[in-house]
Structure 1
Amino acid sequence: MSSRKPHLGIVSLSKYARSETGVIDEGPYTNEHLVAEDVIWSGTSGRFDYGKRDLRDCADSFLIHFGLSGDPLDTHLLSLSRALEQEGYPVLNSFEFTWTCGDKYFALERARGLGIPTPQTLLAKPTGTNVPAIVSTVESELSYPLVIKPRGTMKGFGVIKVTDSDLLVSALQLYSSSGMSCLIQEFVESGGREVRCFYAGGELVGIYDRRRGSDRFIGVATPRAGQESGVSVSRMAAELPEARVLISSCEQLLAGFTWDLAAIDWFGSDHGLVLNEINTVPGIYSMPEADRVIFHERVADAIRRRSQSSRRPHDVAG
């Protein structure tokens, strides 16, 4: 490739992409959001168009920005992810990785099957009429306080700490009106601690330990250094015993997938760290500036690597 910066196309549903328009310069690469609904199969085998251009001409590599939201277009985005990959478009993170980790329940079930500690979790689809039955099941299997949150989505949207039956009913009714499935989980007494393991370019960038007052509810493990008072974020030395355990667990979670980017979040507990979720489009506000430089350099390398290894239709013709 030329010496110009590699360009990443982040493919999102319009409700996300159109709120983040324009090209962003991340140092060693640039990126912009592309509207998934505007990516059209051209009728020519193996080709997708965006506007009047071959999608391949819009970016060097693509990243599917997926978090299961209950929107009917979720299926469109996943189908597009699989189709682009099958047709040889350069995509960061495979369809299987994006699908599994974009669905928080799937990710937790995978972890549980590997013997990795997770919160006790129930999956529910409130419809209004079934709310009493869900409440009965929850109260027979979990104790208050508990946490209710979307099966997917991002940035901690819709995460609620539930302290009694009335609040549980209200939260379930809210989810019923939204049409979204939800996870109902035991509340992990974290003591105000959460940990994030950042990966980019297929490698660990760092492990970041965030601590804040134990009386504050941690809805989602997304440490944002310097953006809250009373919050400290530090890098955990990889040689520490706890870090080695974390790295081993992360390697188990990532094994078997083709992936480039990931952020794996953990809650502290009296019995050790417990998995919260896996993010395939990680925000980087939780790491020091020097580590962000490393992160961006590895993303740039991943964009180039995927672009160079992809195939165009004429590469396999005949």
Structure 2
Amino acid sequence: MRVGLITGDPGHPVLAAAAAVLERRGCRVEVVPFGAGAGGAGGGGAGGGSLADVYLLKARTPQALALARELERRGAPVVNSAAATELCQDRVRMAGLARGAGLPFAATLAAGPLGELPGQEYPFVVKSRHSRRHDLVALVDGAARLRELAGQWPQEEVVTQPYVRGNGWDQKLWVVDGQVFAARRRSELSSGDGESGSAAEWEPSARRAALALRVGEVFGLQVYGVDLLDGAAEPVIVDVNAFPGVRGRPGAPEALAGLALRVAGERGRFGASG
């Protein structure tokens, strides 16, 4: 069996560990190039080479998404799909889908360029409209902070969300093929003690785990992350990420490898290999 990795970082811990599991099970794991001019690459590129049995889409660049769409057009299974991955890059579309499905997603309003942000009631959270690595996520607690951010990101298209006052910890839930992994991480927006991004063990309630699984059903995702905060009456979803890192979660690489095997096996039953 052949597994293609669409990624700009094949050494990422969860991918590398999952690849090792797959190779121990006799699979051939290949990194698929997706940059400019890579369409004709062999090993399952979009230019006509033989297809792998399944592709794992970790990259989110326009080139990677274009490759994933072409592979899907040719009949290859891609996890997550190009459409689901692209949806999770637009926080306005993401919030609209979630709230339309009855999920408790934070009210998310498109606000245009940060340098032209209309008047807001402080505090509020501002985020890049288009989710990506090193995007903008910040608490705006007054006019001075807003001017500072606008000076740094004047043309950044942003959204705003209400500030949910929590305990300084973000609840991170990651789902891989129906298996839920979780941790708490010190919030980037927290002004309390502790280093931003530091992690702590945490076991989600059955209600929160069920909420995370429901997100996958609504968004058509098989590998994804859900960021939760404690709202006044119920958990509040503040972000959904397609194919996150799932770092340091025992069992996650094995779950990812198992997902690849399952999807490839289904393709073998229902469609001919390329």
TM over 0.5: yes
Question: What is the SS of the residue equivalent to 1:115?
Answer: coil
Deviations 1:249-293 (A, max 9, x none): 334322255432111110123333110211111222353xxxx2x
Q: Which consecutive residues of structure 1, in runs of 5 or more, have no partner in the other structure?
A: 68-72, 226-231, 237-242
**Structure 2: runs of 5 or more not aligned:** 24-28
Name which of 49, 57, 62 aligns with 2:55: 62
Alignment of 1:116-265 (within 5 A): 116-126=103-113, 131=116, 134-136=117-119, 139=120, 143-154=121-132, 157-177=135-155, 180-200=156-176, 202-210=177-185, 215-216=191-192, 225=199, 232-236=200-204, 243-255=205-217, 258-265=220-227
C-alpha contact 2:80 2:243 (8 A) present in aligned 1: no
Select between 243-252 and 92-101 the one with higher mean Cα deviation: 243-252
Percentage of identical aligned residues: 21
- TM superposition shift of 1:209: 4.2
TM-score by length of 1: 0.67
Kept in 2, the 8 Å contact 1:96–1:257? The answer is no
CA distance in 1, matches of 2:236, 2:79: 27
Structure 1 residues 217 and 78: alpha-carbon distance in aligned structure 2, compared to 1, 3 A threshold: farther
Query: Could you say what secondary structure the match of 1:279 adopts?
Result: strand
Q: Secondary structure of the equivalent of 2:113?
A: coil
Q: Over residues 13-39 of structure 1, what are the superposed CA-to-partner deviations in whole Å (9 max), with x where a residue is unaligned?
A: xxxx5997xx93444136676442243
Give, in whole Å, the separation in 2 of the partners of 1:147 and 1:217. Answer: 20
The answer to whether the 8 Å contact 1:88/1:310 transfers is no
Q: Deviations over 1:43-84 (max 9, x none)?
A: xxx9724xxx93636xx53223355xxxxx63x443332221
Query: Could you say if the C-alpha distance between residues 176 and 41 of structure 1 is closer, same or farther in structure 2, counting changes exceeding 3 Å?
Result: farther
* Structure 1 residue aligned with 2:75: 88
Give the SS at the match of 2:106. coil
State the Cα deviation string for residues 122-166 of structure 1 (Å, max 9, x = none): 2133185xx1xx323xx2xxx212221212334553222212123
In 2: Cα distance, 1:264 partner to 1:85 partner: 25
User: Letter of the aligned partner of 2:147 in structure 1?
Assistant: V
Aligned partner of residue 89 in structure 1, secondary structure: coil
Q: Contact 2:216–2:222 (CA<8 Å) still a contact in 1?
A: no
Matches within 5 A, 1:41-60: 48-49=46-47, 54=49, 56=51
- Provide, for residues 180-210 of structure 1, a one-character-per-residue CA deviation record: whole Å limited to 9, x for no partner: 422222211111132222211x212334345
Matched residue count: 260
Instruction: Report the RMSD for the aligned CA atoms in angstroms.
Output: 3.8
- Structure 1 match to 2:26: none
User: Which stretch has the larger CA shift, 83-92 or 202-211?
Assistant: 202-211
Q: How far apart are residue 11 of structure 1 and its match?
A: 3.5
Question: Structure 1 residues 196 and 32, CA, compared in 2 at 3 Å: closer, same or farther?
Answer: farther
What SS class does the counterpart of residue 39 from structure 2 fall into?
Answer: strand
Q: Tell me if structure 2 keeps the 8 A contact 1:148–1:185.
A: yes
Do 1:93 and 1:259's aligned partners in 2 also have CA atoms closer than 8 Å? Answer: yes
Distance in 2, Cα, partners of 1:248 & 1:205: 9
Note if contact 2:32-2:45 (Cα within 8 Å) is conserved in structure 1: no
Of 263, 280, 301, the match for 2:242:
280
